[in-house]
Amino acid sequence: MKILVLLLAGAVWGQIPRLERTVTVDGSLAEWKDYAFSDGLWDLQRLRHSPWYDTSRNRLTVHGTETGIDLSARYFIGWDDKYLYLGAEVQDNVNDVTDPAHEPKRWYFKDAICWFIEAPRLAAGKNFGEGDNAFCFVIDVKRPDYGAWWRHGAPGKTYIEEPLPKDAVTYAIRRGQRGDFVLEARVAMAATLGVSTPAWRAPRIGDVYGMEIVHTDPDGGDYGGHFLIYGRGDDDATWGRFELAGPQGPVERKPK
């Protein structure tokens, strides 16, 4: 398994297109999702056949009689000179943002999506520290102070936990009838990635970032239900390598 992880660590998993469109952060991804990186629908069946699948980490909680899809999602990411654009379209059967032992940093005990980003991606792996960032969004339409969270490292520091600075983030959540929702977010890179490490520079085509997505779905249960995608946890050596690329157009549909 160690060799497999090392091999995976060397490969580029995807190319994140530069967005040349104006994004309005309003809870609809319509204006940019066709121009962003997305590799389709994720659910537990697909995760089960991914190289980073681990039954102790990737699992959902069973709550007796459930109807509907427990969790499936498409994730979208793009970039421009200043921002990372993060989006998700999600089917979830229960919206769950209450946590009996609430602390602001406990996004992982609520419905939340968290993009773990290492920028730049370094050859040497380490546990969560300098250059590592997690941008976490609790799926609470009230958008409390802890609703957009920033776990990050800094030179000589690990696991700094704080809200994303208000002037560095804009996000919107559009809830559906059940637990389903759309999340749309824009995060300023210099105020986040640039604080996490002096090795970060303004983004250019060809830069390589590490990325993992953690999507938590406790649905009223205890800590537990979640997807880990492109990585195996807090060790950034396991995160997928993504290259900042030039713009892409929508998938072409040819006339008959």
Interface residues toward Ca ion, by CB under 5 A: 24, 26, 28, 70-71, 92-94, 96, 111, 179, 217, 219
**Where does 71-147 show beta strands of DSSP type E?**
71-79, 83-92, 112-118, 132-138
Q: How far is the CB of 62 from Ca ion (least distance, A)?
A: 10
Question: Which segments of the chain does DSSP mark as H helices, in order?
Answer: 2-10, 44-48, 193-196
Distance linking the first and last C-alpha atoms of the chain: 46
To Ca ion, the closest distance from the beta carbon of 93 in angstroms equals 5
The least distance separating Ca ion from the CB of residue 218, rounded to whole angstroms, comes to 7
CB of 135 to Ca ion, least distance (A): 17
Residue 168's φ and ψ, nearest 5 degrees, are -105, -5
Nearer to Ca ion, 48 or 201 (CB): 48
* C-beta of 201 vs 223, nearer to Ca ion: 223
3 state SS of 86: strand
Neighbours of 1 (CB within 10 A): 8
When the beta carbons of 9 and 60 are compared against Ca ion, the nearer one is 60
70 or 212, CB closer to Ca ion?
70
Q: Going by DSSP bridges, is the β-strand pair 132-138/226-229 parallel, antiparallel, or unpaired?
A: unpaired
Distances (CA, A) of 187 to 19, 82, 123, 167, 231: 14, 8, 25, 9, 21
Minimum separation from the CB atom of position 171 to Ca ion (A) = 11
Query: Closer to Ca ion at the Cβ: 143 or 157?
Result: 143
> Which residue number, 70 or 140, has a Cβ lying nearer to Ca ion?
70
Whose CA is closest to 204, among 11, 16, 22? 16
Shortest distance (Å) from residue 125 CB to Ca ion = 31
Token pair 């997505």 is found at 213
H/E run at residue 181 = strand 181-188
